[in-house]
Structure 1
Amino acid sequence: MEDIGLLARSALNALSANMAILDDEGFILCTNQSWNVFAQSNGSIETSFEGANYLEVCDCAQGDWSEEASIAATGIREVISGIREGFELEYPCHSPDQERWFSMRVTRYRDYERVLVVVSHENIIEWKRVEAALGSQNARLRAVLDNMLAGVTFFEGEVFRPVLANRMGEELLGRSLPPAMASNERESYFQAYRAGTDEPYPIHRLPFVRAMSGESCSADDMEIRLADGSRVRLEVFGAPVRDTSGWITGAVAIFHDITMRKRMEEVLQESEDRFRRAMEATNDGIWDWNVTNGNVYYSPGYFRMLGYESGEFPAKADTWLELIHPDDRERAWAANDACIRNESPAVNVEFRMRSRDGSWRWILGRGVATRRDKDGQALQMIGTHMDISNSRSTYEVA
């Protein structure tokens, strides 16, 4: 200890870590106060540890921590010999009534011609508890994410370092996320294209790239190409992730496979287009009546047979009643009402309706209930109107 100055001793004693300085053979030259207090609190009767060979103590260790002691001795020897500059080891050192974890650090330095090492043991039990709590929290978060039906990915920093991808995310992308991703690697990795084309999706328009600029956004015009050549249509939402100061630290992307939805939308659109063309081609009128709220869909032919244009009248049931001849109105309504109240299976009634030129056209109205409530009352009805004026005239003349 003669060559260890008073200032150095005071500095060592001020540290909370248990510290010792060893020579190149492992003999203890100096320990700080924390080292001594810890040793005595664990049953040591020694008041000074100077001159003891720490390596021999580690080599002779027995019991639960003998493996860690052997690893520590090997690490110290490698630092002394210059194989490595430093050595670190986390190890348990529990007492009968207390859980304890320590972090051991060994640092090499030269004192004139001698090689010395500083050995420190820091109690890290609080950090271990925080680490365990975070691990448990992360495990729960991971379980939630992996059971989501949407893909989730999180990228960190300007280099877009992938931090997380849930199970569905990797399934939808068809690949695992790389450890890092340079800007020139994003296109080849994601294999993203504009939907229905071979045109690569612009990298700067990818939602997670836009999110890194602070934009919360979405896109549903993207397809990704999988290894087997198939394509998956995605709807992607991107949002920035900010720290407590508001700085953007990353981006999260949430995406859904909408391939089937888009196919269904296309089929539905084709069906609607066929229905619209059929309605435009027929001279008969078709009506679809929501009895509950009174709204009615009238096909273009419904008004065209009377000389009107679509959109001239409100899409309400009252429109039909107002155009009916006053002498026929009660009878026509009674036929519909009987079907509504489930007293008749269908509507089949003739009545006159006013045309644009003021004349009255004879109409054959037919309809059925397509949906009823639990009491049998009609909730939805659909039917047709056919202009039978010519046949009525022929019949009346005959």
Structure 2
Amino acid sequence: MEALPPLDGGRALLVSPNLPPLLEKDSTFMQDRHKTKQQLIEELASLRTQLELREGGGGDTIRSGANPTIPPELYAMIFAQIPLAISVIRRDGFFVYVNPAFVSLTGYGLPDIDREKKWFQAAYPDKEYRRKALYAWVKYQTQQLVTEKVLQVTCKDGKKKSIEFNMITVTDGTVISMLTDVTGCGEVGELLKGKEEQWRLLLDTMNEGFITLNESGIPVFVNQRFCEITGYTQEEICGRPVSAFLDSENLSIFQLAFSQRSRGGFHRYELAVRSKDGRLLYFLISPRPLYDSSGRFVGSFGTCMDISERKEMEKVLKKSGEKLQMALYGADLGMWDLDLTTMSGTIDERAAQILGYGKDEIPSQIDAWDEMTHPEDIPQLKESFNAHIEGHLPVFENEHRMRMATGEWKWVQGRGKITERHIDGSPILISGTMQDIDNRKRVEEELRKRKERLKALANNLPGVIFQFYVRKHGEMGLYYVSERSREVLGLDSNPEEFFARASACVPLEDRSRFLESIQQAALSVCRWEYEGRFVTPGGEEKYVRGISLPEERPDQVIFNGMLLDITDQKRVEDALEESRKRYQYLVESINEIVWEIDATGRFTYLSPNIEKLTGYGQAEMIGKFPHEYMWAMNMEELRGRFSDSFASQYPFVAIEGIIVHKRGIHLSVEVSGKPFFIKEGHFGGYRGILRDISEIKTLQEEMIKNQKLESIGTLAGGVAHDFNNLLMGILGYIGLAKLNAQQEMVVERSLSKAEESCLRAKEIAQRLLT
């Protein structure tokens, strides 16, 4: 308990520790003496509302068991310069404060007003006026209607004045009384009438609705603001039962509250009223009962604060809170708060569960939290935390490891933000979330290792691995280029500059073809392939080959592929092509036919000269068996011999045969062949040559015939000479016989025939010799 020094000679008052912050001695309200009177009055009214809400209604503004006291300093600051006479009176009638205007009006200062009430006798020497003053005080204290507000007061100098009293109860149960000198005015009724008009004007211009009900609960007066809020006119409201504006639930609330007011009790309550356009409006009703001069309940009045927006906001906040809880539940997030003034914190049940603890098992001090954090992660955690505290980062966010109840380390992600600050802007409270990211970190670690392996693999592949993109508006570039780009192409692997630099290395005469190949692949979302020259920044000319597969995405096409240096391969291919051309020229130039059959015995290749030989084109014979174009006396025997030879897989040389020309002519040919084998030693077929030997065969036959004729001629010549000699002897002998046997006709005739035959033989022999 702390005593304040007396003010204006008054007694010292005690300051209760139960005072709300607004009235504490060190509060900004007490310290700021430069506020306007209007600001101070508004803050006092706000204070009164706060204390009344704490009490829960019933008209008693002091909580049971508490004795809050407002320091006189506060009243002095507020009322010292007000021209109205003000006095502050405790519930027990003891004066706490009077302002200078009160002293000027009555002549009585605070030292003149003692606890023994001697000044009361002096101020009200007339017994009747003293009775009226006491009666008015009691009626006000008991929440009864005070009708006698103008009393005759004897001032300190002995003068009598007619003074009007208006009172209001404040936070600690004391009463602020406002005194107005009405001495010299006409009839009090006229004065009251003027006051009534002033109060009505005040009610019509106030920001809140105001309503007066009679003893039956029927509205008899509403101010203009109430009509504006509800949309009704005064005529449409006054005289109608409130049931016309309330549903059954809110009618029951109203009836219960009105019944309590009729018995002297009152409290604030909320009521939903249907407006003229059908909207549901929410009011905070602050009622007071009305009594007549005899103390009979005659109705009530009260302010009606429109809290519809607040109710809607409450609904939105409630819904948002529910969504937040669902979001936290769905995201599996724990909550934490850290008080920076005490460096202690709290966590919810889910945050504790993430670490394997019960909610009350984790210490509240931040030092204990540090001990639970992995030492390697603390520097980064503190750096991120301090950056947010100092205003460098809008949100605190960090990933770190924390020790679980089992002693194992678990990765968590902490996010937080300053949610409360001092009046000077310094942070008081940070609130945030905790999320279990242990599985994600394990996956990330595995992905990191896999990425390193892939990177190592990419850097050891013979080419340059790349990821290329073509966006819908035509922009092209790379997301990734492997490090081998410098070794293979002489270019850095920086993706941002790679495409422009690589395009510049494509010779000008090939550049359009290079770019068009990319655009065409992107438009058709198909495999990209390109081969061409590439001149490195060092001037070395190379041949490169690009291959990639497309991946279509909503706004772009991604190509994942490889760029290969095929300079050596290109040289070998060129050499092979040159060799192939020479071989082809040789094959097409020679008279022999080059052929190939596969393992099934069918033709797979025949040189173009086959058509000149057989009349059949290459296309006609490919896929056919050789024996389909051969001739033999016994074709079945021929096919059998072909199959046996083919199955033996032995080479053969200069085998002669006969093939049939497309026109039916038989041609003699000579065939040589050698088996070839493919992968793993499997038999692939035969390759060889076919030669037309028809002319050779004809010449050989003519040669043989001539040789035979020559032999016959030689033989015939010798025989002819011998035969001729014999015939000559026969003929000689026959001539002699004829000479000797001329007389005998028969002998002569026979000899003549013999002679004739010999002559013919001679002729034949002569023909052989010639």
CA contact (8 A) 1:339 1:345 kept: no
Deviations 1:23-50 (A, max 9, x none): xxxx259967649996963443x7xx8x
Q: Following the alignment from structure 1 to structure 2, what is the Cα–Cα distance between the partners of residues 117 and 210? A: 62
Q: Is the 1:193–1:199 Cα contact (8 Å) retained in structure 2?
A: yes
* 2:496 counterpart (171, 176, 180): 180
- Larger Rg belongs to: 2
- Residue 661 of structure 2 corresponds to residue 371 of structure 1: no
Q: Which amino acid aligns with 1:119?
A: I
Point out which structure has higher relative CO (alpha carbons under 8 A, 6+ apart): 1
Match of 2:405, SS? Answer: coil
Which one has the bigger helix percentage?
2
In 2: Cα distance, 1:375 partner to 1:72 partner:
68
* Mean Cα deviation higher: 330-339 or 13-22: 330-339
| 1:17 and 2:335 aligned | yes
Structure with a larger share of its residues in strand: 1
Of 527, 531, 535, the residue aligned with 1:217 is 527
Equivalent position SS for 1:193:
coil
Asked if residue 237 in structure 1 is aligned to residue 548 in structure 2, the reply is: yes
The reply to whether residue 350 of structure 1 matches residue 656 of structure 2 is yes
Instruction: Give the aligned residue type for 1:270.
Output: E
C-alpha separation in 2, matches of 1:315 and 1:66: 79
- Counterpart amino acid of residue 593 in structure 2: G
| Aligned equivalent of 2:606, options 290, 294, 298 | 298
Report matched runs for 1:232-381 at 5 Å. Answer: 232-242=543-553, 247-248=554-555, 251-255=558-562, 257=564, 259=566, 262-305=570-613, 308=615, 310-311=617-618, 313-315=620-622, 318=625, 321-324=628-631, 326-327=632-633, 339-342=645-648, 345-355=651-661, 360-363=666-669, 365-371=670-676, 379-381=685-687
Report the RMSD for the aligned CA atoms in angstroms.
5.0
List runs of 5+ in structure 1 lacking aligned partners: none
Gaps of 5+ in 2: 1-19, 23-313, 329-333, 353-357, 707-770
Number of residue pairs matched by the alignment: 366
- What TM-score do the two structures reach when normalised by structure 1? 0.67
> Identity of aligned pairs, percent?
11
| Counterpart secondary structure, 2:501 | helix
TM (normalized to structure 2)? 0.39
Which amino acid letter does the alignment assign opposite residue 367 of structure 1?
S
Letter matched to residue 269 of structure 1: E
Change in CA separation of 1:113 and 1:144 when aligned onto 2, cut-off 3 Å:
closer
Distance 1:145 1:370, change over 3 A: farther
Matched, 1:130 2:432: no
Give the Cα–Cα distance (whole angstroms) in 1 for the partners of residues 525 and 646 of structure 2: 53
In structure 1, what residue type is equivalent to 2:335? Answer: A
Name the CA distance, whole Å, in 2 between partners of 1:116 and 1:211.
58
Q: Secondary structure at the match of 1:389?
A: helix
Asked if residue 382 in structure 1 is aligned to residue 688 in structure 2, the reply is yes
Residue 123 of structure 1, CA deviation:
1.7
Secondary structure (helix, strand or coil) at the match of 1:368 reads: strand
Which residue type is aligned with residue 215 of structure 1? Answer: V
Deviation at 1:295, TM superposition (A): 1.9
| 1:61-84 deviation digits (Å, cap 9, x = unpaired) | 668656755665566555555566
